[in-house]
């Protein structure tokens, strides 16, 4: 039982990041479906890496430089997996006029103007918001932001239908609905990331992340009737930014 859960977690690390995992970790549709519950746990890992880089960089450079290096570390660790999803989703929803056209645009490897603007806003937004936070709060913000935003994407897995049918789609192995137990486990990892934060800031961040998730979920349901892998990436990115917005708004009051 413990080995199976460890295999699920390491499978999630392999699927959602470029971090190395042991060779004995299996690769199957069942294992990838089981790994979905560890999506927020991967967020803790990636956010923790960003926090460590930030703290180390802060010993030598000003906060904006430390934030930039922390962001670079998290993007490197994930291979820009979620940023790519945000770009593709923005291109699809911005340039498509029906479900089939939107899905066709999302699948296109080329980046359009909507995707470029979304990427610029997303990266710039995170840089500005994290740089505006109290320096002591940034490591905990990174830890919680990455966990909570991945939990937001997990909620789409639990509540919406997968809409692609091609086997090459990036979220195909995760298309199975989450069980109640898996969702409870994912919730626990997200809450774990929030514990170091003062509760008013954590609450404000979660509220804005929830609003952003509901907004995107409504758009996906209206135009696609469900989600794709790109939709999950878009939710993660937008929810992360919304979480930082909530932290900053509450922190300044």
Condensed to tens digits (0 to 9), the pLDDT of residues 148-178 reads 999 999 999 999 999 975 544 555 555 567 7
In the prediction, which pLDDT does 167 show? 44
* Structural domain span for residue 173: 40-252
Q: Is residue 151 part of a domain?
A: yes
Domain count, the chain: 1
Q: Is residue 122 part of a domain?
A: yes
CA distance 70 to 73: 5
The sign one gets for the Cα dihedral 125, 126, 127, 133 is positive
CA distance 47 to 211: 22
Between helix 113-132 and helix 81-95 the angle, nearest 10°, is 130
Q: Is residue 175 part of a domain?
A: yes
Q: Is residue 198 part of a domain?
A: yes
pTM of the predicted model, to two decimals? 0.93
Question: Would you say 2 and 28 are in contact if contact means Cβ atoms under 8 Å apart?
Answer: no
In the prediction, which pLDDT does 253 show? 46
- Regions of the chain where pLDDT drops below 50: 167-168, 252-253
Q: Is residue 34 part of a domain?
A: no
Instruction: Name which of 9, 5, 33, 35 is nearest 162 in CA terms.
Output: 33
3-state class (DSSP) for residue 227: strand
In the prediction, which pLDDT does 180 show? 82
Instruction: Name which of 12, 8, 85 is nearest 45 in CA terms.
Output: 12
């Amino acid at each position: 039982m413990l080995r199976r859960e460890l295999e699920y977690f390491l499978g999630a690390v392999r699927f959602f990041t470029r971090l190395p995992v042991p060779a004995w970790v299996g690769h199957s549709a069942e294992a990838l479906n089981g790994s979905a519950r560890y999506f927020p746990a991967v967020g803790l890992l990636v956010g923790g890496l960003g926090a460590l880089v930030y703290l180390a960089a802060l010993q030598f450079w000003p906060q904006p430089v430390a934030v930039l290096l922390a962001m670079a570390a998290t993007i490197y660790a994930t291979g820009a997996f979620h940023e790519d999803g945000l770009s593709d989703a923005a291109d699809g929803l911005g340039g498509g006029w029906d479900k089939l056209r939107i899905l066709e645009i999302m699948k296109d490897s080329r980046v359009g103007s909507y995707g470029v603007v979304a990427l610029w806003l997303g990266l710039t937004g995170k840089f500005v918001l994290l740089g505006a936070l109290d320096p002591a709060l940034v490591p905990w913000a990174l830890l919680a932001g990455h966990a909570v935003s991945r939990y937001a994407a997990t909620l789409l897995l639990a509540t919406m239908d997968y809409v692609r049918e091609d086997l090459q789609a990036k979220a195909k192995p995760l298309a199975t609905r989450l069980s109640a137990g898996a969702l409870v486990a994912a919730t626990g990892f997200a809450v774990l990331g929030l514990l170091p934060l003062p509760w008013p800031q954590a609450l404000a961040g979660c509220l804005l992340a929830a609003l952003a998730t509901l907004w995107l979920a409504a758009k996906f349901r209206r135009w696609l009737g469900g989600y794709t892998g790109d939709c999950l990436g878009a939710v993660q990115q937008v929810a992360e930014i919304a979480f930082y917005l909530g932290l900053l708004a509450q922190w300044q009051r």
